[in-house]
Amino acid sequence: MKTIRTVQAMAAWSAAHHREGVTIGLVPTMGALHAGHRALIRVARLSCDAVVVSLFVNPAQFGPKEDFARYPRKPKADATLCRKEGVDVLFAPHVDEIYPDGFQTTVSVPRLARRWEGEQRPGHFDGVATVVTKLLTLVRPAAAFFGQKDFQQAALITRLAEDLNLGARVIVYPTVREADGLALSSRNVFLTPVQRRAAPALFQALKAGRAAILAGGRSGAAIQQVMRKVVGKESLAGIDYLAVCDPDTLEPLKHIRDCAVLLGAIRIGRIRLIDNLLVKC
Ligand code: PAF
């Protein structure tokens, strides 16, 4: 496995491989890799000739009061996992490589970023959209792989790749979960044992919402109430949002017709958990 740290070397590697007709799969990450990332790497390996994993804790997507400084960083373990999974390139640039002096461009996907995570974390999606645009432009992958856990992020990246003709297929892979349903996330390491036991409340709420839809429920407000009731039983959990949305526009649904995405974010202590379920009826 080759580790690349500069934008120039990454672009050169990509150009050389394009010339040889190699299809590149990109798995963008912020490191602290877990089984969810491993699943993305494996699917990239299966569908592309060469796999690039980017490892960059992107300061632009963290608000001033968020956890950029204490975001988990495990560069050695990440490199070991990537090597073991047959990754060809680990692209781990320094922040000055991505945002050199004078950098001032922002990519925005305003309608998809307006609600939910975008409302809770102002500026977050501009940071995501900007860095992902840079990564797709540099690496020029045939396909880029993202987890469904960040449903809104995946929707927004799918849109921007199409809007900006970036030439990469955006593949969204199902969420990988612990045995009790908790969606894998690099931030889960911050949960204390007591908080960890409370954390599945979010997935339980989403499942209750899904069950209510599959039982014939069609009112968005009623399904939202079902989900709120489940989280409400967990005294450690506070609700940021629990929503019933159109999976394409992410706008709230008053009436569910043929499908919906249930989006949720809760807080347990200082930790935010997000998750979602796509429901077809
Ligand atoms: O999902 C993530 O880890 C990040 O938001 C991403 C897509 C790597 C952009 O920094």
What's the confidence (pLDDT) of residue 78?
Answer: 98
Q: What are phi and psi of 3, to 5 degrees?
A: -100, 125
My answer on whether 240 and 215 are in the same domain is: yes
State the distance from the centre of ligand 1 to the C-alpha of 179, rounded, in angstroms. 24
For the Cβ of 127 lying below 6 angstroms from any atom of ligand 1, the answer is no
Query: Which three-class secondary structure state does DSSP give residue 121?
Result: coil
Provide the 10 A C-beta neighbour count for residue 21: 7
pLDDT band at 90 (very low <50, low <70, confident <90, very high): very high
Does residue 269 sit within a domain? yes
Residues 34 and 164 placed together within one structural domain of the fold = yes
Q: Ligand 1 centre from 159 Cα, in Å?
A: 15
Ligand 1 pocket test, pick from 27, 29, 73 with the greatest ligand atom count within 8 Å of Cβ, gives 29
Q: What is the mean pLDDT of residues 181-202?
A: 98
For 118-135, what is the mean pLDDT? Answer: 98
Tell whether 80 and 19 lie within a shared domain. yes
The predicted pLDDT at position 232 comes to 98
Co-location of 169 and 224 in the same domain: no
Mean pLDDT of 23-27: 99
Report the C-alpha dihedral over residues 153, 159, 165, 169, rounded to 10 degrees: 60
Give yes or no for residue 24 CB within 6 A of ligand 1: no
Both 149 and 247 in a single domain? no
Distance 171 CA to ligand 1 centre (A): 14
Q: Whose CA is nearest to atom 2 of ligand 1?
A: 29
Ligand 1 centroid to Cα of residue 28, in Å, is 6
Tens digits of per-residue pLDDT, 238-277? 999 999 999 999 999 999 999 999 999 999 999 999 999 9
Give dist(CA 34, CA 95) in Å, integer. 23
Q: Is 116 found in the same domain as 191? A: no
The predicted structure's pLDDT at residue 169 = 98
Task: Work out the average pLDDT over 10-16.
Answer: 98
CB 114 within 8 A of CB 249: no
**pLDDT at site 41:** 99
Give the predicted TM-score (pTM) of the model: 0.98
| Residue 99 included in any domain | yes
Question: Do 72 and 210 fall into the same domain?
Answer: no
- State which ligand 1 atom lies nearest to the alpha carbon of 157: 7
Number of domains in the chain: 2
Domain boundary among 173, 202, 229: 173
Closest CA to 263 of 271, 253, 274: 274
Return the pLDDT at 174: 98
**Where among 152, 173, 194 does a domain terminate?**
173
Same domain, 120 and 208: no
State the closest ligand 1 atom to the C-alpha of 29, by its place in the atom list counted from 1.
8
Residues 77 and 162 in one domain: yes
CA 71 to chain centre: 15
- Arithmetic mean of pLDDT, 81-89: 98
Domain encompassing residue 167: 2-173
Confidence band, pLDDT 50/70/90 cuts, at residue 11: very high
CATH number for the domain harbouring residue 101: 3.40.50.620
Q: Which atom of ligand 1 is nearest to the CA of 147?
A: 1
Nearest residue (CA) to ligand 1, atom 3: 29
| pLDDT score, position 108 | 98
Output the pLDDT for position 25: 99
Q: Tell me what the pLDDT averaged over the chain comes to.
A: 98
For ligand 1, whether the C-beta of 30 sits within 6 Å is yes
Ligand 1 within 6 A of CB of 29: yes
For residue 27, what pLDDT is reported?
99
**For the domain that residue 192 is a member of, what is the CATH number?**
3.30.1300.10
Does 93 sit in the ligand 1 pocket, CB within 6 Å?
A: no
Q: Whose CA is nearest to atom 1 of ligand 1?
A: 29
Same domain, 247 and 152: no
Q: What confidence score (pLDDT) does residue 24 get? A: 98
Last residue of a domain, one of 149, 173, 197: 173
All residues at 6 or more sequence positions from 249 whose CB lies less than 8 Å from its CB, including other chains: 111, 112
Quick one: 190 and 167 in the same domain? no
Share of the chain above pLDDT 70, in %: 100
Query: What is the per-residue pLDDT for 161?
Result: 98
Domain annotation covers residue 281: no
Identify the pLDDT of residue 234. Answer: 98
* C-alpha to C-alpha distance for 231 and 220, rounded to whole angstroms: 17
pLDDT of residue 151: 98
Average pLDDT over residues 32-52: 98
| CA separation for the pair 158, 165 (Å, rounded) | 11
Residues labelled as active-site residues: 37
Same domain, 218 and 86: no
Ligand 1 mean position to 226 CA, how many Å?
A: 31
Q: Report CA(201)–ligand 1 centroid distance (Å).
A: 24
pLDDT tens figures, 138-173: 999 999 999 999 999 999 999 999 999 999 999 999
